[in-house]
Amino acid sequence: MDFGSADSLGAAVYGWVIPAVMGDAIFPPIPSEMILVTGGALSAEGHINIFLLLAMAAVASWLGDMLVFALFKRRLSHVLDRWRWGQKFHRGIHTGIAKAGRSSTYGALIGARFIPGGRLATSAAAGIAGVSTPGFSVCASLGAVVWACWLVGLGYFTGTTTGLPFWASSLIGVAAGLVIGAVVGIIATRKRGNRSPVVEPDPPASL
C-alpha cells in the first residue's frame, strides 16, 4: 500500500478505526487520535464517508470504555496488586478519583478522554468507584460521540481550510488537538473539593 496516496489509504482507514479505538481504551499509546484526524482529512477530499467514520469511531470508543469499566468493576484491580507496576497503576487510579471527587465523576468521564490515557484512567476509576453501569454507559456514549466528532471534525476542518495534502493537514490537526484537548480535559477534571467516592479499607491492626 502507498501510504502517501489518499486513494489507497482511504479504504484502509475503515479497517483500522475499530481495533485502534477499542485498543486505545486499554493501551493508550495506540495512535487512534491520529487515525481519526487523518480520516477526517481524507473525508474532506472525498476519499472517506465522514458519517460512517464517525459512527465507527463512536461505537468503538463506547465498546472499549465499557470493556475496561466492566473488568475493573469485577475487581480486576486486585489482580494488579500482584505486581509492582500494577500496584503503582492502582494507586494512580485512586489518586485520580480523589482529585476528581464524587460530584465531578460523570463530567470527568466525558472530559478526561481528551487527555492522553484519560479513557483508561476514568473507565477504570469508574469501575473501582462503583459507578452504576447505566450511568457510565450513558456518559461513555456521550463522550464517545463528542470525542469522535472532535477528532474527525478537526481533520475535516484542517483538510478543507489549509489546502495542504491530507498528511500535512493531519499533522496540523493532531498538534492542535493535543493542545486544545489537554486544556479542555484539565478543566473538566479539576478538583471540586469533594471526597473520593472510593472508600479505602482500614489498615490491619498491628499485633
* Residue-wise burial string across 56-76, b where 16 or more C-beta atoms lie within 10 A, e elsewhere: bbbbbbbebbbebbebbbeee
* Cα separation, 158 vs 154, whole angstroms: 6
Joined grid coordinates for residue 207: 499485633
Q: 117: Cβ–Cβ under 8 A, 6 or more apart, which residues? A: 28
127-176: pLDDT as tens digits? 877 888 998 999 899 999 999 998 998 888 888 887 777 777 778 877 87
**Structure-derived torsion over alpha carbons of residues 164, 29, 48, 7, reported in degrees to the nearest 10:** 60
pTM, full prediction: 0.73
Q: 129: Cβ–Cβ under 8 A, 6 or more apart, which residues? A: 97, 105, 196, 197, 198
Contact 114, 32 (CB under 8 A): no
Higher pLDDT, 28 or 187: 28
For 27, phi then psi, to 5°, come to -130, 90
Residue position matching grid coordinates 479505538 = 21
Confidence of residue 186 (pLDDT cuts 50, 70, 90): low
Closest CA to 32 of 111, 94, 113: 113
Overall average pLDDT of the 5-21 stretch: 79
pLDDT at 188: 57
22-81: pLDDT as tens digits? 988 888 788 888 889 888 888 888 888 999 999 999 999 999 999 889 888 877 656 666
For CA atoms 89, 90, 96, 98, give the dihedral sign.
negative
* Cα separation, 187 vs 113, whole angstroms: 12
Joined grid coordinates for residue 80: 494488579
Q: Give the distance, in angstroms, between the CA of residue 2 and the centroid of all CA atoms in the same chain.
A: 29
Helical ranges in 48-132 per DSSP H? 50-73, 77-80, 84-100, 105-111, 118-129
AA identity, residue 177:
G
